[in-house]
Structure 1
Amino acid sequence: MGITVGFDLDMTLIDPRPGMVAVMNALGVESGLPLDGEFFAANLGPPLDDSLRGFGAPEERIPELVTRFRAMYPEVVVPVTVALPGAAEALHAVRAAGGRTVVVTGKFAPNAKLHLDALGLEVDVLVGELWSTEKAAALTEHGARVYVGDHLGDVRGALAAGAVPVGVTTGPCSKAELLAEGADVVLDSLTEFPGWFSSFAEPREPGRSDRAPDPAG
């Protein structure tokens, strides 16, 4: 039986930043609040409500703002989002080895599915609205042995689930930061994932570690 691998979505499999700038700025204009789309898009990862609080949105307005953001999202963000280099190949590498793919993301699941469908990224399971160590519940439930993400929160989620944390530097966190947080390996992008995974997924001799060396040394 193959290995189940979990992937984060934003800045791991997809790059939604142009649309994120646009939707947050539009929400700011509509709501009369000082929402900063550029800052938001450059720091994707934390839950939307936390980001809104960081911009000074009043607590009593958070639910309406989240609802409106999610309603605007399909038309503003999905059409201008692209798959990151190596995303499709990474998912294919897992399937080709007889494994399963699980996307665990902080994003609202219906909008996450719109991205996957629009970009033709096929996954076995999608779980949304989980962040950092909250992701461990889904990773454990689906038996993920590896979790790939761009954020320190992704590393924390993998470790909490007992999965191998694989970092990618396509998001806001550097290689040094991801390694310091506990990532086993950090890739420049998912283009490097199939090579790493082919070594990781090899049948192991008794007593041989599952951990593979960092391809970057």
Structure 2
Amino acid sequence: MGLTVGFDLDMTLIDPRPGMAAAMNALGVEAGLPLDGERFAANLGPPLDDALRGFEAPEERIPWLIDRFRALYPDVVVPVTVALPGAAEALRAVRAAGGHTIVVTGKYGPNAQLHVDALGFEVDEVIGELWSTRKAEALLDHEAQVYVGDHLGDIRGARAAGATAVAVATGPCTREELSAEGADVVFDSLTEFPEWFAARFAGQAA
């Protein structure tokens, strides 16, 4: 197998914040709970059940809330989500060099796949519902040598898998926080990734 590079999804490859806020607010209205969509969208990364607990949703209602959010998602979130600058180019840079690309995300897998399809991203596989160090499971299974993400949890996942941790400061974490967590390199956006990848892994992907 050639070089495999893993990518996080939310705030790494895509910006789903407007739709995420709208879906969470709609869920709150439907459920009669004080769910704050804007705060949720500003802190994407951790699993949905953790976010709901942060809004003090009753524990016994969380399974239903998760199912309902996932049901709302395709029509509310996917149509208004956009690719972040450099996302498509970063994926193409790996594939053009003969490498493989995977998406490893904490998001529900079928909804993650909808984003990939809607935006025309060329990836070899989408693996969902893995967060922080659990992302190492998929990275190790695919022998990924690099993992790219925007959150401290992504850095932890990369390091747990022994992969090069590439961070982009496009999410809720600052450059300083990402560096302190152990990122090997931090970019302002994925527009910087292709040049770095070409220099770092020249001749290794094929």
TM-score by length of 1: 0.93
Query: How far does residue 3 in structure 1 lie from its aligned partner after superposition?
Result: 1.4
Letter in 1 for 2:199: S
Does residue 192 of structure 1 match 2:192?
Answer: yes
Letter in 2 for 1:111: N
Does residue 132 of structure 1 match 2:132?
Answer: yes
RMSD of aligned C-alpha atoms?
Answer: 0.9
User: Which residue does 1:72 correspond to in 2?
Assistant: 72
Query: How far does residue 125 in structure 1 lie from its aligned partner after superposition?
Result: 1.1
Quote the Cα distance in structure 2 between the aligned partners of 1:63 and 1:200.
44
User: Which residue does 2:92 correspond to in 1?
Assistant: 92
Letter in 2 for 1:37: G
TM-score by length of 2: 0.98
Quote the Cα distance in structure 2 between the aligned partners of 1:4 and 1:14.
20
Does residue 168 of structure 1 match 2:168?
Answer: yes
Q: Segments of 4+ in structure 1 off by > 3 A?
A: none
Does residue 150 of structure 1 match 2:150?
Answer: yes
Which deviations, in whole Å up to 9, do the C-alpha atoms of 1:4-48 show, x marking residues without a partner?
100000000000000001000000000010100000000000000
Does residue 182 of structure 1 match 2:185?
Answer: no
Does residue 16 of structure 1 match 2:20?
Answer: no
SS at match of 1:70: helix
Aligned residue pair count: 204
SS at match of 2:34: coil
Percent identity over paired residues: 76
Which deviations, in whole Å up to 9, do the C-alpha atoms of 1:158-188 show, x marking residues without a partner?
0000000000001000110000000000000
User: Which residue does 2:141 correspond to in 1?
Assistant: 141
What are the residue-to-residue correspondences of 1:113-128 with 2, within 5 Å? 113-128=113-128
Quote the Cα distance in structure 2 between the aligned partners of 1:2 and 1:86.
23
Which deviations, in whole Å up to 9, do the C-alpha atoms of 1:114-162 show, x marking residues without a partner?
0000000110011000000000000000010000000000000000000
Quote the Cα distance in structure 1 between the aligned partners of 2:203 and 2:82.
34
Quote the Cα distance in structure 2 between the aligned partners of 1:50 and 1:140.
25
User: Which residue does 1:60 correspond to in 2?
Assistant: 60
User: Which residue does 1:215 correspond to in 2?
Assistant: none
User: Which residue does 1:207 correspond to in 2?
Assistant: none
Query: How far does residue 2 in structure 1 lie from its aligned partner after superposition?
Result: 3.6
Which deviations, in whole Å up to 9, do the C-alpha atoms of 1:70-125 show, x marking residues without a partner?
00000000000000000000000000111000100000000000000000011001
Quote the Cα distance in structure 1 between the aligned partners of 2:122 and 2:202.
23
Quote the Cα distance in structure 1 between the aligned partners of 2:55 and 2:195.
41
Contact 1:2 1:97 in 2 (8 A): no
Does residue 159 of structure 1 match 2:165?
Answer: no
Quote the Cα distance in structure 1 between the aligned partners of 2:160 and 2:32.
39
Letter in 2 for 1:83: A
Larger radius of gyration: 1
Letter in 2 for 1:159: R
Q: Larger RCO: Structure 1 or Structure 2 (Cα < 8 Å, ≥ 6 residues apart)? A: 2
